[in-house]
Amino acid sequence: MQGRPVASWSMASHPKDRARFDDYIDRLAVAVGHADRHAPLAAYLTGLLLPGERKSVEPMAAKLDPRHVSRAHQAMHHFVANAPWEARELLAVARDYALAQLERHAPVGAWIVDDTGIPKKGQHSVGVAWQYCGVLGKPANCQVAVTVSLANTTMSVPAAWRLYVPEKWATDATRRHQAGIPREVDFRTKWQIALEEIDLLLAEDLPVAPVVGDAGYGDTTAFREGLTERGFSYALGIKGDTSVWPPGAAPLPPHRWTRRGRPPTRVRRAAHHQPCSARQVAAALAPKHWQTVRWREGTRGTMASRFAAVRIRPAHRDGLRSEPRPREWLLIEWPAAADQPTNYWLSTVPEDVERAELIALAKLRWRIERDYQELKDELGLDHYEGRSWRGFHHHGVLCMAAYCFLAAERGRLSPPHAIAFLQPAPLPKGFAPRGAPRAARTT
């Protein structure tokens, strides 16, 4: 594949847009290294940004160079599946490009930690296993990737993408070899992966902001403590049965020393002095604690609900501690029409925070759901058909690089027309990519 992809470019209509896209490709090209990779990089990004139901390699090659599909397919497949460029380096370039537009509107307001499932058939794609798949809302055969995004109320920017490797994969030497899992990759839980990715982003001196996530992360005390140790505040979802000390309560001090043995050092509970669940705290709150708050404009109008926020102490295994955990916010959402609360969060933002600001921070996680939807529905994040570790991460960050270009254009333009200058090449009559359903015969 020589030069830029041969898809038609409407340069006369949008020359400045085309120039920005070319400049963006040139920036990314530095991250992929060898000059032979620059043309397939441009082709892959163009294929992801063009309309189309499938964003696997062959359908994209057909849109870009329909008369030489095999040649284009081979170049793009080698680039994504085999070429030894660093996915993390390319994503850093894309991230910084979009981040410049994000910060034109407002500072980074949160780091959003999450994971996304990619349903799969078969057992050979790297990391695939029977596990909870968020997109389906139930256990399924799927891959799961952990992500970190930087966001404010205007836009969000993907910053990390890493496959979760189930323990049965991590300990299977044969499957590791077949999928090309690097030797240094060991089994890590999702929250451990998230902390490791956060550490790598911290090393790049990115703007620090509170960490936001759902109960899959917030219910893990070690994750919350890890964020605190790193200097982050947070607003993390928890389950209703998470144990806390209600407002004004705390574990008892250590027993008085009797001068026998070592002095007692651990806080304690008693038969009539126990923590309760977040759900019980919500049920015991007086009406004065509840307030209807609007936090953003949605597609169906203003988003509003009923909230309470009180100061509590998390209680998980605090009998092993020498002092109570610090007080933090318990934020509860209980819509007026609901029989019980629908959401709970723990947050370590300052005590003097405005309630509306705390709610807006906790609710900022909605952006990652929208990101995943666009990355999958429009940019083919879940369309990759390869099986290897390298291919999975290369395809993922290329999709995120395409998203970063779109996000930057939206941040720059109003109304946006980010990819109006990209047009696919006309397909030859009767062309169908490999695997497409055959038309029914009429004779």
Per residue in 391-427, pLDDT (tens digit) is 999 999 999 999 999 999 988 865 444 445 555 666 5
261 falls within a domain:
no
Residue 61: predicted pLDDT: 93
Q: Over range 3-13, report the average pLDDT.
A: 44
| pLDDT averaged over every residue in the chain | 90
Q: Over range 325-329, report the average pLDDT.
A: 96
DSSP secondary-structure letter at 37? Answer: G
Same domain, 139 and 183: yes
Q: Is the pLDDT higher at 226 or at 318?
A: 226
394 falls within a domain:
yes
Same domain, 45 and 130: yes
Same domain, 330 and 188: no
439 falls within a domain:
no
Q: Is the pLDDT higher at 302 or at 414?
A: 302
Same domain, 349 and 392: no
Query: What residues pair up with 292 in beta bridges, in sequence order?
Result: 306
Domain containing 320: what range? 229-249+282-363
CA 124, 125, 126, 128 torsion: positive or negative? negative
Same domain, 375 and 349: no
357 falls within a domain:
yes
Residue 244 has pLDDT above 60, yes or no: yes
DSSP-derived 3-state class of residue 59: helix
Confidence of residue 296 (pLDDT cuts 50, 70, 90): confident
Residue 436: predicted pLDDT: 53
218 falls within a domain:
no
Burial class (CB in 10 A: 0-12, 13-18, 19+), 318: buried
Same domain, 61 and 84: yes
Residue 311: predicted pLDDT: 98
Cα–Cα distance between 62 and 70 in angstroms, integer? 9
5 falls within a domain:
no
Cα–Cα distance between 294 and 280 in angstroms, integer? 25
65 falls within a domain:
yes
Confidence of residue 301 (pLDDT cuts 50, 70, 90): confident
Same domain, 85 and 184: yes
Beta strands in 232-324 (DSSP E): 234-238, 243-245, 276-277, 291-298, 301-314
Residue 314 has pLDDT above 60, yes or no: yes
Residue 91 has pLDDT above 70, yes or no: yes
Same domain, 56 and 134: yes
For 114-134, b/e burial (b = at least 16 CB within 10 A) is: bbbbbebeeeebbbbbeeebb
Residue 193: predicted pLDDT: 98
Same domain, 347 and 304: yes
Query: Closest Cα to residue 150, out of 99, 189, 74?
Result: 99
Residue 11 has pLDDT above 50, yes or no: no
429 falls within a domain:
no
Contact in structure between 290 and 306 (CB atoms under 8 Å): yes
For 251-266, write each residue's pLDDT tens digit.
Answer: 999 888 887 888 888 8
Helices vs strands, H then E, count in the chain: 14, 12
Number of domains into which the chain is organized: 2
Residue 443 has pLDDT above 50, yes or no: no
Same domain, 319 and 407: no
Same domain, 398 and 300: no
Same domain, 195 and 118: yes
For 146-200, write each residue's pLDDT tens digit.
Answer: 999 999 988 999 999 999 999 999 999 999 999 999 999 999 999 999 999 999 9
